[in-house]
Amino acid sequence: MAKVEKNKVVKFHYTLKDKETGEILDSSQHYGEPLSVLIGANNIIPGLERQMEGMEVGEKRTIEVKAEEAYGAKDESLIQKAPREYFQGIELQKGMPLQAQTPDGQIINLTVVDFDDNEVTVDMNHPLAGKDLVFDVEIVDVRDATLEELAHGHAH
């Protein structure tokens, strides 16, 4: 029986929860099909991939992933204040996700933390940074990756 290991394409269903609150954050059921990833190509967070290794088709497992092996610890330097005029025409709300563009054209995702008439506090950390996560995983299929998939670094 094929096992989850490096250079295998793995299809799996997952439900992702916040360990602290139990809130469901994401689920493959939401998309109606399992997620396909190339193991060893950094397609998924390291802690999840490492703990899925050795699983077989049909196997189910609840996997806890500490923040450090998921989206990292929250970096306080990525929480910054910006002048309110940068946000003209936007009806701001706390917790609101926004996208900004750097002068060199890179897109940055940020979340509104707080705001007043003069400035807006934004958090540029990944929304799941600093959170311990729990994944309920079910392996649906495991197969060898094709040469094309290995070259491209992801499942086709």
Q: What is the pLDDT of residues 2-52, one digit of tens each?
A: 899 999 999 999 999 999 999 999 999 999 999 999 999 999 999 999 999
Per the structure, how many domains does the chain have?
Answer: 2
**What's the pTM?**
0.83
Residue 92 belongs to domain with CATH number: 2.40.10.330
**Same-domain status, 58 and 12:** yes
Q: What is the DSSP letter of 50?
A: H
Q: Give, in order, the Cα–Cα distances in Å from 64 to each of 48, 51, 58.
A: 8, 9, 19
**Same-domain status, 66 and 82:** no
Domain span holding position 92: 76-123
Q: Can you give the pLDDT at residue 65?
A: 98
**Same-domain status, 16 and 57:** yes
**Same-domain status, 12 and 59:** yes
**Same-domain status, 13 and 65:** yes
**Same-domain status, 66 and 134:** yes
Helix (H, G, I), strand (E, B) or coil at 23: coil
**Same-domain status, 21 and 48:** yes
In a domain? residue 60: yes
CA distance 24 to 16: 6
**Same-domain status, 99 and 61:** no
Average pLDDT, the chain: 95
In a domain? residue 3: no
In a domain? residue 46: yes
Count other C-beta atoms under 10 Å from residue 48's C-beta: 20
In a domain? residue 1: no
